Amino acid sequence: MMEDKRGTEVWIDPEAVRANTRLFRDVVGSQVKVMAVVKADGYGHGALRVARAALEAGAGALGVATVLEGRALRDGGIDAPILVLGAVNAGEAEAALEMNLDVTVFHDAWWEALVRAAERLGRRVRVHLKVDTGMGRLGVTPAEALQIWVPRIVNHPLVKWQGLMSHLACSDVPDTLPTRQQLRQFLDVIEAIRASKTALPPDIHVANTAATLRFPGTHFTMVRVGLGLYGAVPYAGAPALTPALTWVSRVTQVKRVTPGFAIGYHHTYRAEADETIATVAVGYADGYRRALSNRAEVLIHGRRCPVVGRISMDQLTVRVPEGLAVQPGDVVVLAGRDGAAEVAMEELADWADTISYEMLTSISARVPRHWDRFQS
């Protein structure tokens, strides 16, 4: 396949993923498993490569959002446990079983389809029961879990009860009360299961990245780490992780303009003085969001250059600081380090009024990923 050579690329450092995985292993200790969450193509980094690096560094399981994401990992030769964190509907049950994926259960009809598929194929299915303790998204109520779901799961011969799980809504905000309330509910469910003399499943898990770092009481027997694997900052003041991704583009044109010269669609920027403007080969179709227009900064030769004018589909324009020599072909760092300078993904997210999760997963398929540390 011909590769895009325009020079807009993402570089991913496998050692950063391994180092971050080891950091989480150290945080939780040897008794707790780390699930590496690689949904959405590994938060835009490439799920298979990230999965391999995380498993090399001691991750014990993988998390994906969809059956198809699980299949891509199996097709890539991964045989570690893979949990589909999202819904597996009736039409997907058989594929999930054939791929030996663990399934999150919470809906009667899809449970029925899953069990029927297991009977048809003569295979055991591993399920994780999801309890909604206050996220309001997926999951059964604590009462439903105890009265209907636990008996149903433990009594079916083709079902292996692998996990009990919940998800936290507010683990990354300063107010800890919602997390403590959710944890209380989850602990109550565990207590009630114990009291009924039912054996708990091996994987008990609620914590994402932020909870893993901030609330040791949420570790149970497994944590589900996504964002932190990639080295993005889960909340202000978090322990230092290593960003895995560097996003670069190239200068395509450099011009000198005079005061009042207008730049880009709708002329949202006019030169205030004699200025140097560089055009760069990246735009919102690559995931460099239009909301960054007239707000973001990029690095050229380690110097910050403000984005001026509207970001277009495939191009943007920056003002080059006076005295900095720039020419077509020069590297532009959009996110990551350039010598001593850095634009963090969190800064980009702030400028675009969003979160680093969305910035990372917005980098489009048009941008080639290279699995190596970027050297400018």
Ligand X SMILES: *Cc1c(COP(=O)(O)O)cnc(C)c1O
Q: Which residues are the active-site residues?
A: 39, 265
Determine if residue 198 is left, alpha or beta; phi over 0 gives left, psi from -120 to 50 gives alpha, anything else beta.
beta
User: Can you tell me the distance from the alpha carbon of 52 to that of 73, in angstroms, rounded to the nearest whole number?
Assistant: 10
Beta-strand pair 303-306/203-205:
unpaired
Nearest approach, Cβ of residue 229 and ligand X (Å): 8
Is 12 near ligand X (CB under 6 A)? no
User: Can you tell me the distance from the alpha carbon of 20 to that of 34, in angstroms, rounded to the nearest whole number?
Assistant: 11
DSSP assignment of 295-343, as one string?
T-EEEETTEEEEB-S---SS-EEEEEPTT----TT-EEEEEEEETTEEE
Which residue of the chain is nearest ligand X when measured via CB? 226
Of positions 49, 156, 224, 310, contacts ligand X by CB under 6 A: 224
The CB density around residue 329, as the number of other CB atoms within 10 Å, is 9
CA 138 to chain CA centroid, nearest Å: 19
Rounded to a whole number of angstroms, the CA Rg of the chain reads 24
Footprint on residues 30-59 left by ligand X (CB under 6 A): 37, 39
Of the candidate spans 221-229, 261-269, 270-278, 314-322, the one that interacts with ligand X by CB under 6 A turns out to be 221-229
Nearest approach, Cβ of residue 38 and ligand X (Å): 10
Is the CB of 83 or the CB of 300 nearer to ligand X? 83
Is the CB of 84 or the CB of 300 nearer to ligand X? 84
**By the 8 A CB rule, do 203 and 33 touch?**
yes
**By the 8 A CB rule, do 280 and 318 touch?**
yes
How many residues in the shown chain lie near ligand X by CB under 6 A? 11
Is the CB of 208 or the CB of 279 nearer to ligand X? 208
Q: Please list the alpha-helical segments (H only) found in 196-307.
A: 209-214
Nearest approach, Cβ of residue 148 and ligand X (Å): 22
Site string for ligand X, 157-176 (x = CB under 6 A): ----------x---------
Residues 6+ away with beta carbon under 8 Å from 272: 259
Is 85 near ligand X (CB under 6 A)? yes
Nearest approach, Cβ of residue 226 and ligand X (Å): 3
Is the CB of 39 or the CB of 156 nearer to ligand X? 39
The closest of 312, 348, 333, 358 to 7, measured between CA atoms, is 333
Of positions 118, 131, 164, 227, contacts ligand X by CB under 6 A: 227
The closest of 125, 120, 124, 91 to 105, measured between CA atoms, is 125
**At 64, which amino acid appears?**
V
Is 209 near ligand X (CB under 6 A)? yes
Of positions 208, 252, 276, 293, contacts ligand X by CB under 6 A: 208
Is 225 near ligand X (CB under 6 A)? yes
**By the 8 A CB rule, do 22 and 57 touch?**
yes
Nearest approach, Cβ of residue 225 and ligand X (Å): 5
Nearest approach, Cβ of residue 201 and ligand X (Å): 16
Is the CB of 24 or the CB of 284 nearer to ligand X? 24
Is the CB of 128 or the CB of 250 nearer to ligand X? 128
Of the candidate spans 109-117, 155-163, 218-226, 311-319, the one that interacts with ligand X by CB under 6 A turns out to be 218-226
The CB density around residue 212, as the number of other CB atoms within 10 Å, is 23
The closest of 337, 326, 352 to 253, measured between CA atoms, is 326
Of the candidate spans 87-95, 156-164, 219-227, 240-248, the one that interacts with ligand X by CB under 6 A turns out to be 219-227
Tokens 């190596």, residue located: 372
Nearest approach, Cβ of residue 269 and ligand X (Å): 35
Is 14 near ligand X (CB under 6 A)? no
Nearest approach, Cβ of residue 323 and ligand X (Å): 42
Q: Which residues bind ligand X (CB under 6 A)?
A: 37, 39, 85, 167, 208-209, 224-228
